[in-house]
Chains A and B, each alone.
Chain A
């Protein structure tokens, strides 16, 4: 019937037009809203105990959801270059409370809670707390001791505790032999570039989490750069001893036979010597900014 078809068409048009209006209106509302409320991240429910109760018997799933949120939170902040990671701890706190066996949450937290900004939240004591919880719930997982040792060593700079952590972890029959070696080395020497490099290398090689691997890579670069700089400085000091004045260019050290050649940093840029005759990364190198930050 003709009137039926016309009515049908009219209805289709009306509904489409209606939704177009809704869409436009929503965009307008969103714009107005952003003026009214300032952008603040927040977690509606912060209490892990409450979340656990609310999850009834489905805590592992809710824990996985919170873990996912934590990863995305970190990823977004990292992408935006925003250093404020204040929600990372609450998110991981809740995830690990809901699912105490979610290994990856502890490991992720260990790295990104303790690492200094802009790479992490800079809260190593929280990382320690998280790992200790992880150890309690998963006593057989020796890598938590590795993570604990790393936190003490790199961020808390507490070499005694770091050594103890590696020692404790080495007692697990599944642990890698280097744990015991590392425990002894740190007890004896404290911080050393070789130790740092070795520790970061193991993390880089064994992790399955891409954020962790990327971060380990960043650290490896820095340690490698430090090691190179140490070499160059040694050569520069030797040169100064011999010639009674400090070299101002790397090429002088090379010509003096103290360096095999122009050394490039992990990003491929040649090192330079500062006015004081100390080695440092090239101004063009992206490594320079990070290196300077570490020096502070």
Chain B
């Protein structure tokens, strides 16, 4: 066809779980997913818990097997184990061997890649430095905090210089400092030209990092594209933040405002901006800020979730 192949190509991937008594009922945790992740892009999987993000990633990593559909990473089918040499994976809530030190764990995982002994020790040392575990490398993992374990997980995922990096909820459970560090690492990976696929339910991270996002709700892909393209970019008005002491008259607009102490925040259409500013000035208010209200990914996201819920209950009601 002449089209360059994507780093990850997914076609009609589906996963059903039998459940219930005698395993007669089937739950569809992923339904007919078709999408691509392009070479060198940072792609975010968004979705509420249980939507199918982890399922997709586990299918890609061959931890679970699809009920239907196929996928390819770097042009090779996912059941080609040798292809794993070019991809890195960070599982959700990683946990490693309690009694090993970080150094030993990384060395252990490194041994599965065909590296020379020198190469291996060099890379392990470099990774430990990169994720900031150099000082803690001789301490056993059972003494590590969650954040430190996450860093070990990241280190083992990128230790072998993979072209594609898949991260399952890399930011979960981290404090703001930890999240910042992970974000920085992802950006660095992007700079290095690697493809990054990660899942998260924190939308602001996705907005900040991703070239494109895919929103999965209820096992189905509901939307896919650049964060900017997905939301309605039409500005929805202005927001004024101001301070008003005492009661200089009762401005009608004060009723519409949210108030914290002496600070007020009010939203209004762009057309009314200057008249409102004048009214506030004459009332003696101190204007703190004036900004455009931008729609966020969150609204888009919530909209999708609610649509899905409505469809689901409609299905229940109709009994199909």
Q: Do chains A and B touch in the complex (CB under 8 A)?
A: no
